[in-house]
Amino acid sequence: MTRYIFITGGVVSSLGKGLLSASLGALLQARGYSVRLRKLDPYLNVDPGTMSPYQHGEVYVTDDGAETDLDLGHYERFTGVASRQSDNITSGRIYQQIISKERRGDYLGGTVQVIPHVTDAIKEFALADQDNIDFMLCEIGGTAGDIEAAPFMEAIRQLSIDLGRGRSIFVHLTLVPYLAAAGELKTKPTQHSVRDLRSIGIQPDILVCRSEHPIPDSERRKMSLYCNVSETAVIPALDAPSIYSVPVNYHKEGLDVEVLKAFGLAHSQVPDLHRWEDIMDRVENPEGEVTIAVVGKYTGLRDAYKSLNEALIHGGIANKVKVNIEWIESELFEQEDAITKLENVNAILVPGGFGKRGTEGKIAAVKFARERGVPYFGICLGMQMATIEAARNLAGHTEASSTEFEEHDNPVVGLITEWVSADGSIETRTEETELGGTMRLGAYTAHLKEGSKTAEIYGNTVISERHRHRYEVNVGYVEKLEKAGVLFSGMSPDGALPEIIELPDHPWFIGVQFHPELKSKPLDPHPLFASFVKAAVAQSRLV
Protein backbone atom coordinates (compact mmCIF):
# COMPACT_ATOMS: atom_id res chain seq x y z
CA MET A 1 0.00 0.00 0.00
CA THR A 2 1.60 3.23 -1.18
CA ARG A 3 1.25 6.24 1.11
CA TYR A 4 1.31 9.76 -0.32
CA ILE A 5 3.10 12.84 1.01
CA PHE A 6 2.02 16.08 -0.68
CA ILE A 7 4.56 18.89 -0.32
CA THR A 8 3.42 22.46 -0.89
CA GLY A 9 5.08 25.85 -0.50
CA GLY A 10 3.92 29.18 0.84
CA VAL A 11 4.84 32.86 1.32
CA VAL A 12 7.57 33.03 -1.37
CA SER A 13 9.12 30.78 -4.00
CA SER A 14 12.62 29.26 -3.91
CA LEU A 15 12.37 28.14 -0.29
CA GLY A 16 13.69 24.67 -1.08
CA LYS A 17 10.70 22.37 -1.62
CA GLY A 18 12.87 20.22 -3.87
CA LEU A 19 15.55 19.81 -1.19
CA LEU A 20 12.87 19.17 1.44
CA SER A 21 11.32 16.45 -0.72
CA ALA A 22 14.69 14.89 -1.57
CA SER A 23 15.88 14.99 2.05
CA LEU A 24 12.66 13.47 3.37
CA GLY A 25 12.95 10.73 0.76
CA ALA A 26 16.52 10.02 1.93
CA LEU A 27 15.40 9.89 5.59
CA LEU A 28 12.61 7.43 4.82
CA GLN A 29 15.08 5.28 2.88
CA ALA A 30 17.43 5.37 5.89
CA ARG A 31 14.57 3.82 7.87
CA GLY A 32 14.19 0.99 5.37
CA TYR A 33 11.28 2.31 3.29
CA SER A 34 11.13 2.51 -0.49
CA VAL A 35 10.30 5.88 -2.03
CA ARG A 36 9.52 7.61 -5.31
CA LEU A 37 9.37 11.37 -5.88
CA ARG A 38 7.31 13.43 -8.31
CA LYS A 39 7.06 17.08 -9.35
CA LEU A 40 3.76 18.66 -10.41
CA ASP A 41 4.51 21.99 -12.14
CA PRO A 42 1.71 24.52 -12.77
CA TYR A 43 3.32 26.42 -15.67
CA LEU A 44 1.79 26.06 -19.15
CA ASN A 45 4.95 24.94 -20.98
CA VAL A 46 4.67 21.30 -21.98
CA ASP A 47 8.12 20.74 -20.47
CA PRO A 48 11.13 22.93 -19.62
CA GLY A 49 13.06 21.82 -22.72
CA THR A 50 12.52 25.04 -24.67
CA MET A 51 12.65 27.41 -21.68
CA SER A 52 15.58 29.77 -21.15
CA PRO A 53 18.03 28.62 -18.47
CA TYR A 54 17.86 32.18 -17.11
CA GLN A 55 14.15 31.67 -16.38
CA HIS A 56 13.98 28.04 -15.40
CA GLY A 57 17.52 26.91 -14.68
CA GLU A 58 18.83 23.54 -15.76
CA VAL A 59 16.81 21.05 -17.76
CA TYR A 60 17.22 17.66 -16.10
CA VAL A 61 17.09 14.63 -18.42
CA THR A 62 16.00 11.14 -17.39
CA ASP A 63 17.11 7.77 -18.75
CA ASP A 64 13.86 7.45 -20.73
CA GLY A 65 14.43 10.80 -22.44
CA ALA A 66 12.17 13.17 -20.51
CA GLU A 67 13.17 16.83 -20.19
CA THR A 68 12.17 17.69 -16.65
CA ASP A 69 12.41 20.16 -13.79
CA LEU A 70 15.80 20.48 -12.07
CA ASP A 71 14.24 19.32 -8.77
CA LEU A 72 14.22 15.78 -10.21
CA GLY A 73 18.00 16.04 -10.09
CA HIS A 74 17.80 16.63 -6.33
CA TYR A 75 15.50 13.62 -6.02
CA GLU A 76 17.94 11.33 -7.81
CA ARG A 77 21.04 12.66 -6.08
CA PHE A 78 19.59 12.20 -2.60
CA THR A 79 17.72 8.91 -3.04
CA GLY A 80 19.47 7.16 -5.93
CA VAL A 81 16.05 6.37 -7.44
CA ALA A 82 16.18 6.97 -11.20
CA SER A 83 13.54 9.48 -12.30
CA ARG A 84 11.25 8.74 -15.23
CA GLN A 85 8.96 10.50 -17.68
CA SER A 86 6.10 9.73 -15.30
CA ASP A 87 7.69 11.71 -12.46
CA ASN A 88 7.20 15.22 -13.85
CA ILE A 89 4.02 16.80 -15.20
CA THR A 90 3.14 20.36 -16.16
CA SER A 91 -0.15 22.16 -16.76
CA GLY A 92 0.92 22.33 -20.40
CA ARG A 93 1.07 18.55 -20.74
CA ILE A 94 -2.19 18.11 -18.83
CA TYR A 95 -4.07 20.57 -21.07
CA GLN A 96 -2.39 19.20 -24.19
CA GLN A 97 -3.66 15.71 -23.39
CA ILE A 98 -7.17 16.92 -22.53
CA ILE A 99 -7.52 19.04 -25.66
CA SER A 100 -6.29 16.14 -27.82
CA LYS A 101 -8.97 13.91 -26.26
CA GLU A 102 -11.64 16.58 -26.82
CA ARG A 103 -10.65 16.94 -30.49
CA ARG A 104 -10.92 13.17 -30.95
CA GLY A 105 -14.36 13.17 -29.38
CA ASP A 106 -13.34 11.10 -26.37
CA TYR A 107 -15.64 13.13 -24.11
CA LEU A 108 -18.68 12.31 -26.29
CA GLY A 109 -19.69 15.93 -26.69
CA GLY A 110 -19.65 16.70 -22.97
CA THR A 111 -18.48 20.03 -21.59
CA VAL A 112 -14.78 19.85 -20.68
CA GLN A 113 -14.04 21.63 -17.39
CA VAL A 114 -11.25 22.12 -14.85
CA ILE A 115 -13.29 20.00 -12.44
CA PRO A 116 -13.46 17.09 -13.05
CA HIS A 117 -11.40 16.72 -16.24
CA VAL A 118 -8.22 18.62 -15.36
CA THR A 119 -8.19 17.50 -11.74
CA ASP A 120 -8.86 13.89 -12.78
CA ALA A 121 -5.90 14.02 -15.18
CA ILE A 122 -3.65 15.33 -12.39
CA LYS A 123 -4.83 12.59 -10.03
CA GLU A 124 -4.27 9.96 -12.71
CA PHE A 125 -0.69 11.17 -13.10
CA ALA A 126 -0.07 11.14 -9.35
CA LEU A 127 -1.36 7.58 -9.03
CA ALA A 128 0.47 6.11 -12.05
CA ASP A 129 3.47 3.74 -11.81
CA GLN A 130 3.38 3.24 -8.06
CA ASP A 131 5.44 0.02 -8.30
CA ASN A 132 4.31 -1.05 -4.81
CA ILE A 133 6.57 1.50 -3.16
CA ASP A 134 6.04 2.51 0.46
CA PHE A 135 5.94 6.29 -0.01
CA MET A 136 5.18 8.54 -2.99
CA LEU A 137 6.33 12.12 -2.39
CA CYS A 138 4.58 14.65 -4.64
CA GLU A 139 5.95 18.19 -4.72
CA ILE A 140 3.58 20.88 -6.01
CA GLY A 141 5.41 23.67 -7.82
CA GLY A 142 4.68 27.33 -7.14
CA THR A 143 3.25 28.91 -4.02
CA ALA A 144 -0.06 28.52 -2.20
CA GLY A 145 -2.45 31.13 -3.57
CA ASP A 146 -1.00 31.16 -7.10
CA ILE A 147 -3.86 31.12 -9.60
CA GLU A 148 -2.13 28.61 -11.89
CA ALA A 149 -1.60 26.18 -8.99
CA ALA A 150 -5.30 26.08 -8.07
CA PRO A 151 -6.18 22.95 -10.14
CA PHE A 152 -3.23 21.05 -8.61
CA MET A 153 -4.23 22.03 -5.07
CA GLU A 154 -7.80 20.94 -5.75
CA ALA A 155 -6.57 17.66 -7.25
CA ILE A 156 -4.46 16.72 -4.23
CA ARG A 157 -7.33 17.70 -1.92
CA GLN A 158 -9.59 15.30 -3.81
CA LEU A 159 -6.88 12.66 -3.91
CA SER A 160 -6.44 12.71 -0.14
CA ILE A 161 -10.13 11.85 0.18
CA ASP A 162 -9.96 9.19 -2.55
CA LEU A 163 -6.99 7.50 -0.86
CA GLY A 164 -8.78 7.31 2.49
CA ARG A 165 -7.71 7.93 6.05
CA GLY A 166 -4.08 7.14 6.84
CA ARG A 167 -2.95 7.05 3.19
CA SER A 168 -1.85 10.68 2.73
CA ILE A 169 -0.51 13.72 4.58
CA PHE A 170 0.28 17.34 3.70
CA VAL A 171 3.64 18.97 4.43
CA HIS A 172 3.73 22.75 3.98
CA LEU A 173 7.01 24.68 3.63
CA THR A 174 6.84 28.36 4.59
CA LEU A 175 9.06 31.32 5.41
CA VAL A 176 9.41 32.84 8.87
CA PRO A 177 11.13 36.16 8.10
CA TYR A 178 13.22 38.17 10.53
CA LEU A 179 12.64 41.94 10.65
CA ALA A 180 15.88 43.55 11.74
CA ALA A 181 14.20 46.89 12.55
CA ALA A 182 11.81 45.17 14.95
CA GLY A 183 14.36 42.61 16.08
CA GLU A 184 11.90 39.72 15.84
CA LEU A 185 10.67 36.83 13.73
CA LYS A 186 7.26 37.20 12.10
CA THR A 187 4.84 34.26 11.92
CA LYS A 188 1.98 36.12 10.22
CA PRO A 189 3.04 35.17 6.64
CA THR A 190 2.93 31.49 7.64
CA GLN A 191 -0.49 31.95 9.23
CA HIS A 192 -1.82 33.57 6.05
CA SER A 193 -0.34 30.87 3.84
CA VAL A 194 -1.94 28.10 5.89
CA ARG A 195 -5.22 30.03 5.89
CA ASP A 196 -5.11 30.00 2.06
CA LEU A 197 -4.70 26.23 2.11
CA ARG A 198 -7.43 25.66 4.69
CA SER A 199 -9.80 27.83 2.65
CA ILE A 200 -9.62 25.23 -0.15
CA GLY A 201 -9.90 22.27 2.17
CA ILE A 202 -6.24 21.39 2.79
CA GLN A 203 -5.06 21.18 6.40
CA PRO A 204 -1.28 20.77 6.70
CA ASP A 205 -0.16 17.96 9.00
CA ILE A 206 3.40 19.31 9.24
CA LEU A 207 4.81 22.82 8.92
CA VAL A 208 8.42 23.21 7.83
CA CYS A 209 9.60 26.74 8.57
CA ARG A 210 12.57 28.25 6.70
CA SER A 211 14.35 30.91 8.70
CA GLU A 212 17.73 32.60 8.94
CA HIS A 213 17.40 32.74 12.73
CA PRO A 214 16.54 30.06 15.32
CA ILE A 215 12.79 29.86 15.95
CA PRO A 216 11.96 30.15 19.69
CA ASP A 217 9.53 27.71 21.26
CA SER A 218 7.12 30.60 21.82
CA GLU A 219 6.90 31.23 18.05
CA ARG A 220 6.49 27.51 17.34
CA ARG A 221 3.61 27.42 19.83
CA LYS A 222 2.02 30.41 18.13
CA MET A 223 2.18 28.78 14.68
CA SER A 224 0.89 25.54 16.15
CA LEU A 225 -2.09 27.34 17.68
CA TYR A 226 -3.03 29.50 14.69
CA CYS A 227 -2.30 26.90 12.02
CA ASN A 228 -3.95 23.95 13.77
CA VAL A 229 -0.76 21.87 13.70
CA SER A 230 0.83 19.93 16.57
CA GLU A 231 3.68 21.89 18.16
CA THR A 232 6.12 19.04 17.56
CA ALA A 233 5.10 19.11 13.88
CA VAL A 234 6.36 22.69 13.47
CA ILE A 235 9.82 21.90 12.09
CA PRO A 236 12.53 24.61 11.91
CA ALA A 237 14.60 24.64 8.72
CA LEU A 238 17.60 26.89 9.22
CA ASP A 239 20.21 27.68 6.57
CA ALA A 240 22.78 24.88 6.26
CA PRO A 241 26.48 25.09 5.28
CA SER A 242 25.85 22.51 2.54
CA ILE A 243 22.76 20.99 0.97
CA TYR A 244 24.19 17.60 1.98
CA SER A 245 23.75 18.60 5.62
CA VAL A 246 20.02 18.99 5.14
CA PRO A 247 18.87 15.35 5.62
CA VAL A 248 20.72 15.04 8.94
CA ASN A 249 19.48 18.49 10.05
CA TYR A 250 15.87 17.60 9.27
CA HIS A 251 16.26 14.37 11.23
CA LYS A 252 17.61 16.28 14.24
CA GLU A 253 14.53 18.52 14.09
CA GLY A 254 12.25 15.46 14.01
CA LEU A 255 10.82 15.69 10.49
CA ASP A 256 10.95 11.97 9.72
CA VAL A 257 9.47 11.10 13.13
CA GLU A 258 6.55 13.49 12.59
CA VAL A 259 5.87 12.02 9.15
CA LEU A 260 5.72 8.49 10.52
CA LYS A 261 3.56 9.64 13.44
CA ALA A 262 1.13 11.28 11.01
CA PHE A 263 0.73 7.93 9.25
CA GLY A 264 0.45 6.03 12.55
CA LEU A 265 3.67 4.11 11.86
CA ALA A 266 6.35 3.05 14.34
CA HIS A 267 9.05 5.67 14.68
CA SER A 268 11.31 4.58 17.54
CA GLN A 269 13.92 3.05 15.23
CA VAL A 270 16.98 5.26 14.64
CA PRO A 271 17.67 5.75 10.92
CA ASP A 272 21.05 4.76 9.50
CA LEU A 273 22.58 8.09 8.48
CA HIS A 274 26.28 7.24 8.78
CA ARG A 275 26.91 7.70 5.04
CA TRP A 276 25.34 11.17 5.13
CA GLU A 277 27.39 12.03 8.20
CA ASP A 278 30.53 10.93 6.35
CA ILE A 279 29.63 13.21 3.43
CA MET A 280 29.06 16.11 5.85
CA ASP A 281 32.50 15.48 7.36
CA ARG A 282 34.18 15.41 3.93
CA VAL A 283 32.44 18.63 2.88
CA GLU A 284 33.07 20.50 6.12
CA ASN A 285 36.59 19.19 6.79
CA PRO A 286 38.41 18.87 3.45
CA GLU A 287 42.07 17.87 3.32
CA GLY A 288 42.85 20.39 0.56
CA GLU A 289 41.26 22.43 -2.19
CA VAL A 290 41.40 22.98 -5.94
CA THR A 291 40.16 25.70 -8.26
CA ILE A 292 38.28 24.71 -11.41
CA ALA A 293 37.21 27.22 -14.07
CA VAL A 294 33.83 26.59 -15.70
CA VAL A 295 33.82 28.49 -18.99
CA GLY A 296 30.19 28.71 -20.04
CA LYS A 297 27.40 30.77 -21.51
CA TYR A 298 24.95 30.97 -18.62
CA THR A 299 27.34 31.60 -15.73
CA GLY A 300 25.21 34.49 -14.48
CA LEU A 301 22.70 31.95 -13.12
CA ARG A 302 24.15 29.02 -11.17
CA ASP A 303 20.92 26.99 -11.47
CA ALA A 304 21.59 26.74 -15.22
CA TYR A 305 24.42 24.34 -14.29
CA LYS A 306 22.92 22.85 -11.13
CA SER A 307 23.86 19.20 -11.76
CA LEU A 308 27.30 20.22 -12.99
CA ASN A 309 27.95 22.22 -9.84
CA GLU A 310 26.90 19.30 -7.66
CA ALA A 311 28.90 16.75 -9.69
CA LEU A 312 32.06 18.81 -9.15
CA ILE A 313 31.31 18.86 -5.42
CA HIS A 314 30.86 15.07 -5.58
CA GLY A 315 34.28 14.82 -7.25
CA GLY A 316 35.65 16.80 -4.32
CA ILE A 317 33.91 14.48 -1.85
CA ALA A 318 35.51 11.47 -3.57
CA ASN A 319 38.96 13.08 -3.21
CA LYS A 320 38.38 14.70 0.21
CA VAL A 321 39.01 18.19 -1.18
CA LYS A 322 37.03 21.40 -1.51
CA VAL A 323 36.30 22.37 -5.10
CA ASN A 324 36.31 26.13 -5.68
CA ILE A 325 34.48 26.91 -8.90
CA GLU A 326 35.32 30.03 -10.90
CA TRP A 327 32.36 30.74 -13.18
CA ILE A 328 33.68 32.57 -16.24
CA GLU A 329 31.59 33.94 -19.10
CA SER A 330 33.04 32.45 -22.28
CA GLU A 331 32.61 35.67 -24.28
CA LEU A 332 35.28 37.20 -22.06
CA PHE A 333 37.97 35.11 -23.79
CA GLU A 334 37.16 36.65 -27.13
CA GLN A 335 39.00 39.75 -25.87
CA GLU A 336 42.75 40.08 -26.23
CA ASP A 337 44.83 38.78 -23.29
CA ALA A 338 41.72 37.78 -21.30
CA ILE A 339 42.88 34.14 -21.45
CA THR A 340 45.39 34.97 -18.70
CA LYS A 341 42.47 34.63 -16.27
CA LEU A 342 42.98 30.86 -16.58
CA GLU A 343 46.61 30.88 -15.48
CA ASN A 344 45.90 30.24 -11.80
CA VAL A 345 43.24 27.53 -12.11
CA ASN A 346 43.93 23.82 -11.61
CA ALA A 347 41.51 22.56 -14.26
CA ILE A 348 39.12 23.84 -16.95
CA LEU A 349 35.63 22.60 -17.81
CA VAL A 350 33.50 23.71 -20.75
CA PRO A 351 29.88 22.60 -20.27
CA GLY A 352 26.96 22.12 -22.64
CA GLY A 353 25.04 24.96 -24.24
CA PHE A 354 23.25 26.10 -27.37
CA GLY A 355 23.94 28.77 -29.98
CA LYS A 356 26.98 30.60 -31.33
CA ARG A 357 27.44 33.23 -28.62
CA GLY A 358 30.67 32.70 -26.70
CA THR A 359 31.86 29.69 -28.72
CA GLU A 360 35.12 31.29 -29.87
CA GLY A 361 35.89 32.02 -26.22
CA LYS A 362 35.29 28.38 -25.37
CA ILE A 363 37.62 27.30 -28.17
CA ALA A 364 40.27 29.67 -26.77
CA ALA A 365 39.88 28.03 -23.35
CA VAL A 366 40.29 24.58 -24.93
CA LYS A 367 43.47 25.70 -26.70
CA PHE A 368 44.87 27.08 -23.44
CA ALA A 369 44.20 23.80 -21.61
CA ARG A 370 45.69 21.69 -24.41
CA GLU A 371 48.85 23.74 -24.82
CA ARG A 372 49.50 24.34 -21.11
CA GLY A 373 48.79 20.76 -20.00
CA VAL A 374 45.92 21.86 -17.74
CA PRO A 375 43.28 19.15 -17.06
CA TYR A 376 40.35 19.72 -19.42
CA PHE A 377 36.81 18.31 -19.33
CA GLY A 378 34.45 19.08 -22.22
CA ILE A 379 30.79 18.15 -21.89
CA CYS A 380 28.41 18.05 -24.89
CA LEU A 381 29.18 21.39 -26.62
CA GLY A 382 32.46 21.34 -24.67
CA MET A 383 33.46 18.17 -26.55
CA GLN A 384 32.44 19.73 -29.87
CA MET A 385 34.54 22.83 -29.13
CA ALA A 386 37.52 20.61 -28.30
CA THR A 387 37.07 18.74 -31.58
CA ILE A 388 36.86 21.97 -33.58
CA GLU A 389 39.95 23.34 -31.80
CA ALA A 390 41.89 20.17 -32.64
CA ALA A 391 40.73 20.31 -36.26
CA ARG A 392 41.91 23.91 -36.58
CA ASN A 393 45.19 23.78 -34.70
CA LEU A 394 46.31 20.14 -34.93
CA ALA A 395 44.84 18.90 -38.22
CA GLY A 396 45.21 22.16 -40.17
CA HIS A 397 41.50 22.73 -40.98
CA THR A 398 41.60 26.43 -40.10
CA GLU A 399 37.95 27.01 -41.08
CA ALA A 400 36.60 24.11 -39.00
CA SER A 401 33.22 24.91 -37.48
CA SER A 402 29.69 23.66 -36.74
CA THR A 403 26.51 24.09 -38.75
CA GLU A 404 24.90 25.20 -35.50
CA PHE A 405 26.83 28.46 -35.91
CA GLU A 406 27.04 28.91 -39.68
CA GLU A 407 26.50 27.16 -43.00
CA HIS A 408 29.44 24.92 -43.89
CA ASP A 409 30.08 22.52 -46.76
CA ASN A 410 32.07 20.03 -44.70
CA PRO A 411 31.47 20.76 -41.00
CA VAL A 412 33.35 19.10 -38.16
CA VAL A 413 30.09 19.26 -36.19
CA GLY A 414 26.70 19.02 -37.88
CA LEU A 415 23.00 18.49 -37.28
CA ILE A 416 22.21 14.88 -36.60
CA THR A 417 19.40 13.81 -38.92
CA GLU A 418 19.11 10.09 -38.16
CA TRP A 419 20.12 7.79 -35.35
CA VAL A 420 19.18 4.55 -33.64
CA SER A 421 17.16 5.25 -30.49
CA ALA A 422 17.56 3.38 -27.22
CA ASP A 423 14.70 1.01 -28.14
CA GLY A 424 16.26 0.16 -31.51
CA SER A 425 13.95 2.29 -33.67
CA ILE A 426 15.22 4.90 -36.17
CA GLU A 427 14.84 8.55 -35.14
CA THR A 428 14.90 11.24 -37.85
CA ARG A 429 15.10 15.05 -37.65
CA THR A 430 15.31 17.96 -40.11
CA GLU A 431 16.03 21.70 -39.87
CA GLU A 432 12.25 22.29 -39.80
CA THR A 433 11.57 19.92 -36.88
CA GLU A 434 9.97 21.58 -33.84
CA LEU A 435 12.37 22.43 -31.01
CA GLY A 436 10.53 20.78 -28.13
CA GLY A 437 11.57 17.22 -27.30
CA THR A 438 13.32 16.64 -30.64
CA MET A 439 16.94 16.19 -29.57
CA ARG A 440 18.82 12.97 -28.93
CA LEU A 441 17.47 12.56 -25.42
CA GLY A 442 17.99 10.04 -22.65
CA ALA A 443 20.29 7.10 -22.05
CA TYR A 444 22.37 5.66 -24.90
CA THR A 445 25.08 3.03 -24.90
CA ALA A 446 28.68 3.75 -25.88
CA HIS A 447 31.54 1.34 -26.52
CA LEU A 448 34.96 2.35 -25.20
CA LYS A 449 38.35 1.46 -26.63
CA GLU A 450 40.27 -0.98 -24.49
CA GLY A 451 43.33 0.62 -22.95
CA SER A 452 41.96 4.15 -23.26
CA LYS A 453 42.00 6.51 -20.29
CA THR A 454 38.20 6.66 -20.32
CA ALA A 455 37.87 2.87 -20.19
CA GLU A 456 40.34 2.84 -17.30
CA ILE A 457 38.28 5.47 -15.43
CA TYR A 458 34.99 3.61 -15.94
CA GLY A 459 36.53 0.20 -15.35
CA ASN A 460 34.40 -1.00 -18.27
CA THR A 461 34.23 -0.86 -22.05
CA VAL A 462 30.43 -0.56 -22.32
CA ILE A 463 28.68 2.38 -20.65
CA SER A 464 25.26 4.06 -20.67
CA GLU A 465 24.97 7.84 -20.31
CA ARG A 466 22.29 10.49 -20.82
CA HIS A 467 22.24 12.81 -23.84
CA ARG A 468 20.61 16.12 -24.75
CA HIS A 469 21.78 17.62 -28.05
CA ARG A 470 21.00 18.08 -31.74
CA TYR A 471 24.50 18.27 -33.20
CA GLU A 472 27.16 15.57 -33.46
CA VAL A 473 30.83 15.37 -34.36
CA ASN A 474 31.13 14.37 -38.02
CA VAL A 475 32.34 10.76 -38.07
CA GLY A 476 34.06 11.53 -41.38
CA TYR A 477 36.70 13.51 -39.47
CA VAL A 478 37.66 10.68 -37.11
CA GLU A 479 40.54 9.33 -39.20
CA LYS A 480 41.99 12.81 -39.89
CA LEU A 481 41.83 13.85 -36.26
CA GLU A 482 43.27 10.59 -34.98
CA LYS A 483 46.27 11.09 -37.29
CA ALA A 484 46.66 14.51 -35.61
CA GLY A 485 46.75 12.94 -32.14
CA VAL A 486 43.11 12.85 -31.02
CA LEU A 487 41.83 9.50 -29.77
CA PHE A 488 38.13 8.74 -30.32
CA SER A 489 37.88 6.48 -27.30
CA GLY A 490 34.08 6.11 -27.25
CA MET A 491 31.66 5.46 -30.12
CA SER A 492 28.00 4.55 -30.50
CA PRO A 493 27.43 0.78 -30.90
CA ASP A 494 27.02 1.16 -34.69
CA GLY A 495 30.20 3.26 -34.93
CA ALA A 496 28.33 6.19 -36.51
CA LEU A 497 28.43 8.68 -33.65
CA PRO A 498 31.57 9.77 -31.75
CA GLU A 499 30.83 9.81 -28.02
CA ILE A 500 34.22 10.49 -26.35
CA ILE A 501 37.52 12.04 -27.36
CA GLU A 502 40.76 12.24 -25.40
CA LEU A 503 44.37 13.33 -25.88
CA PRO A 504 46.63 10.42 -24.86
CA ASP A 505 49.70 12.65 -24.45
CA HIS A 506 47.92 15.13 -22.16
CA PRO A 507 47.75 14.77 -18.33
CA TRP A 508 43.90 14.74 -18.46
CA PHE A 509 41.97 15.85 -21.54
CA ILE A 510 38.56 14.26 -22.15
CA GLY A 511 35.48 15.42 -24.04
CA VAL A 512 32.15 13.60 -23.90
CA GLN A 513 29.02 14.10 -26.00
CA PHE A 514 26.73 13.11 -23.11
CA HIS A 515 26.01 14.67 -19.70
CA PRO A 516 27.69 12.59 -16.98
CA GLU A 517 26.75 15.18 -14.34
CA LEU A 518 23.14 13.96 -14.52
CA LYS A 519 24.05 10.61 -12.97
CA SER A 520 26.46 11.78 -10.27
CA LYS A 521 25.41 11.47 -6.61
CA PRO A 522 27.07 12.42 -3.32
CA LEU A 523 26.90 8.79 -2.20
CA ASP A 524 28.17 7.62 -5.60
CA PRO A 525 30.28 10.29 -7.39
CA HIS A 526 30.50 9.86 -11.15
CA PRO A 527 33.87 8.29 -12.06
CA LEU A 528 34.67 10.97 -14.65
CA PHE A 529 34.20 13.77 -12.13
CA ALA A 530 36.12 11.91 -9.44
CA SER A 531 39.01 11.39 -11.88
CA PHE A 532 38.84 14.99 -13.17
CA VAL A 533 39.06 16.45 -9.66
CA LYS A 534 41.89 14.03 -8.87
CA ALA A 535 43.74 15.39 -11.90
CA ALA A 536 43.08 18.94 -10.66
CA VAL A 537 44.60 17.97 -7.30
CA ALA A 538 47.71 16.67 -9.08
CA GLN A 539 47.88 19.89 -11.13
CA SER A 540 47.64 22.02 -7.97
CA ARG A 541 50.74 20.31 -6.61
CA LEU A 542 52.69 21.30 -9.74
CA VAL A 543 51.99 25.02 -9.29
- pLDDT tens string 166-197: 999 999 999 999 988 888 899 999 999 999 99
Q: What is the pLDDT of residues 436-493, one digit of tens each?
A: 456 788 999 999 999 999 999 999 999 999 999 888 888 888 999 999 999 999 999 9
In single-letter form, the type of residue at position 480 comes to K
Same domain for 77 and 123, yes or no, is yes
* Boundary (domain end) residue, out of 235, 253, 279: 279
Q: Strand runs (DSSP E) across 450-530, as ranges?
A: 462-469, 471-473, 487-491, 498-502, 509-512
Q: Is the pLDDT of residue 419 over 60?
A: no
Q: What is the pLDDT of residues 210-224, one digit of tens each?
A: 999 999 999 999 999
pTM to 2 decimal places: 0.91
Same domain for 253 and 368, yes or no, is no
Instruction: Give the strand pairing for 440-448 and 462-469.
Output: antiparallel
DSSP assignments along 90-135, one per residue: EHHHHHHHHHHHHHHTTTTTPPP-IIIIIHHHHHHHHHS--TT-SE
What residues have CB less than 8 Å from 507, skipping those under 6 apart? 373, 374, 375, 535, 538, 539
Per the annotation, the verdict on 515 as an active-site residue is yes
Q: How confident is the model at residue 332 (pLDDT cuts 50, 70, 90)?
A: confident
CATH, residue 387: 3.40.50.880
Angstrom distance (rounded) from CA 543 to CA 345: 10
Mean pLDDT over each residue of the chain, to the nearest integer = 90
Same domain for 274 and 319, yes or no, is no
Q: Is the pLDDT of residue 17 over 90?
A: yes
Q: Worst-scoring range by mean pLDDT, 55-69, 169-183, 286-300, 326-340?
A: 326-340
Q: Residue 205's domain spans which residues?
A: 3-279
Same domain for 25 and 157, yes or no, is yes
What residues have CB less than 8 Å from 328, skipping those under 6 apart? 293, 294, 295, 296, 299, 341, 342
CATH, residue 114: 3.40.50.300
Q: What is the pLDDT of residues 225-238, one digit of tens each?
A: 999 999 999 999 99
Same domain for 24 and 118, yes or no, is yes
Same domain for 274 and 297, yes or no, is no
Angstrom distance (rounded) from CA 84 to CA 37: 10
Same domain for 149 and 215, yes or no, is yes
- Catalytic residue, candidates 117, 447, 517, 526: 517
Same domain for 259 and 294, yes or no, is no
Angstrom distance (rounded) from CA 152 to CA 121: 10
Same domain for 166 and 188, yes or no, is yes
Q: What is the pLDDT of residues 345-363, one digit of tens each?
A: 999 999 988 777 878 888 8
Domains identified in the chain, total number: 2
Same domain for 455 and 526, yes or no, is yes
pLDDT at site 141: 92
Same domain for 207 and 113, yes or no, is yes
Per the annotation, the verdict on 517 as an active-site residue is yes
* Boundary (domain end) residue, out of 279, 310, 345: 279
Same domain for 204 and 312, yes or no, is no
* Boundary (domain end) residue, out of 279, 295, 330: 279
- Catalytic residue, candidates 117, 251, 380, 506: 380
Q: What is the pLDDT of residues 480-537, one digit of tens each?
A: 999 999 999 999 998 989 999 999 999 999 999 999 999 999 999 999 999 999 999 9
| Cα within 13 Å of Cα(180), Cβ side | 1
